[in-house]
Amino acid sequence: MTHKFAFVGIAGKPNVGKSTLINALIGEKIAITSEKAQTTRHRILGVKTTPNFQLVFVDTPGIHESKHVLNQMIVKQANQALLDVDVMLWVVDRKKQPYDDKLYQTFKTLNIPIILVINKIDQLSNKSDIDAMIMSYLTLGDFDAVIPISALKETYLQHLEASILEHAYEEGPMFPEDYTSDQQEYQIISEWIREKILSLTQQEVPHSAAVIVESIEENKKQKTLDIRALIIVERDSQKKILIGKQGEKLKQIGMLARQDLNKTFHRKVHLELWIKVKKDWRNKMQDVMRFGYGVTSD
């Protein structure tokens, strides 16, 4: 039996369910999720390995018209990540909008198979709604496949996987069998903390926050992993919101993040969180790069 391999890009506008999809395809949580737009800020690599194939999924940040320097760098990172994939999943969750014409033209320049993934069908009332959504995108041109799914309910993912494998090539695995993600410890920690900020705060606060892991230390005496992390926001008012009355909001963020980190690292985690104001950091290239959102030229 031949073994197949492919790099698979997952792209689309913010909040269409790309991170939920990669988690469902891999079978474990490697990307944070939120109902808020622009949750993903980094390219995330997820690997699914079976005896017959290995698929390497590249989850990209949502592609959108960007105003802040931070968002411009995020979109640049997403576009760059798609340059080296073998097949692309274009994930959508509503009828075609004007900006989708521009996205389609950008994706076509990659000269790779494009699978249109209609996500969140569990939220649609009947099949005619799905058909109408599909028809709105077919006006753009041809797709190599159109697959309706629900990433949240894990509906029809087997159909999507089969469609991807049609464009995979005969090749042995590139990564070890137990390898599921390329994220380093500090990235996982900062993202798990940021996920809690996204879920517990509103308006501009979650999008103005960055999380910097300052130290990770093994405490052999206490048998814990001691983590110190700094939350960066843009205004004093945002800092007050994150701290909350008598520090309750920050305690809640820390408690929920710690629960996820305990599971991730399979041990008790001691987490210290601090907040610092760096005014207008999202519009300053130096700060954007320093906080880990730069794009290499490789």
| Tens of pLDDT, residues 165-216 | 999 999 999 888 888 887 778 888 888 898 899 888 877 777 788 889 999 9
Q: Assess contact for 54 and 174: CB atoms under 8 A.
A: yes
Give yes or no: residues 89 and 113 share one domain: yes
Which domain range does residue 29 map to? Answer: 4-170
Q: List phi, psi (to 5°) of 178.
A: -95, 10
CATH of the domain at 19: 3.40.50.300
Together in a domain, 152 and 209: no
What mean pLDDT comes out for the span 262-280?
90
pLDDT digits (tens, 9 = 90+) for 32-59: 665 544 545 456 788 999 999 999 998 7
Torsion of CA 272, 277, 280, 286, to 10 degrees: -60
Residues 149, 91: Cα–Cα separation, whole Å: 10
Q: What is the C-alpha to C-alpha distance for residues 54 and 5, in angstroms, rounded to an integer?
A: 5
Amino acid identity, position 141: G
Element (H, E) at 224: strand 224-233
pLDDT > 70? residue 292 = no
pLDDT score for 298: 37
Q: What percent of the chain has pLDDT over 70?
A: 85
- What was the pLDDT predicted at 35? 56
Whether residue 61 is contained in a domain is answered as yes
Mean pLDDT over 277-287 rounds to 82
Instruction: Indicate whether 179 belongs to any domain.
Output: no
For the cut 80, the answer to whether the pLDDT of residue 1 exceeds it is no
Shared domain for 143 and 40, answered yes or no, is: yes
Look at residue 277 and tell me whether its pLDDT is greater than 80.
yes
CB 10 within 8 Å of CB 44: no
Rounded mean pLDDT of 85-90? 93
DSSP code for 124? -
**180 located within any domain:** no
Residue type, 105: Q
Q: Which amino acid, residue 103?
A: L
Query: Are both 199 and 131 inside the same structural domain?
Result: no
Residue 75: pLDDT above 70?
no
Specify the CATH number for the domain of residue 233: 3.30.300.20
**Residue 109, in any domain of the structure:** yes
Q: Kindly state whether residues 51 and 159 are assigned to the same domain.
A: yes
159 and 89 together in one domain: yes
| Per-residue pLDDT reduced to its tens digit, 136-163 | 999 999 999 999 999 999 999 999 999 9
Report yes or no on 72 lying in a domain. Answer: yes
- The mean predicted confidence, pLDDT, of the chain is 84
Please indicate, yes or no, whether residues 137 and 229 belong to a single structural domain of this protein.
no
Please enumerate, as own/partner, the contacts of 221-225 that have beta carbons within 8 Å and a separation of 24 or more. Answer: 222/268, 222/270, 223/267, 223/268, 224/267, 224/268, 224/269, 224/270, 225/261, 225/265, 225/267, 225/268, 225/269, 225/270
Token pair, residue 285, equals 């290239």
Indicate the pTM of the whole model.
0.71
Residue with the larger pLDDT of the pair 48 and 83: 48
Asked if residue 176 belongs to a domain, the reply is no
Count CB atoms within 10 A of the CB of residue 141: 10
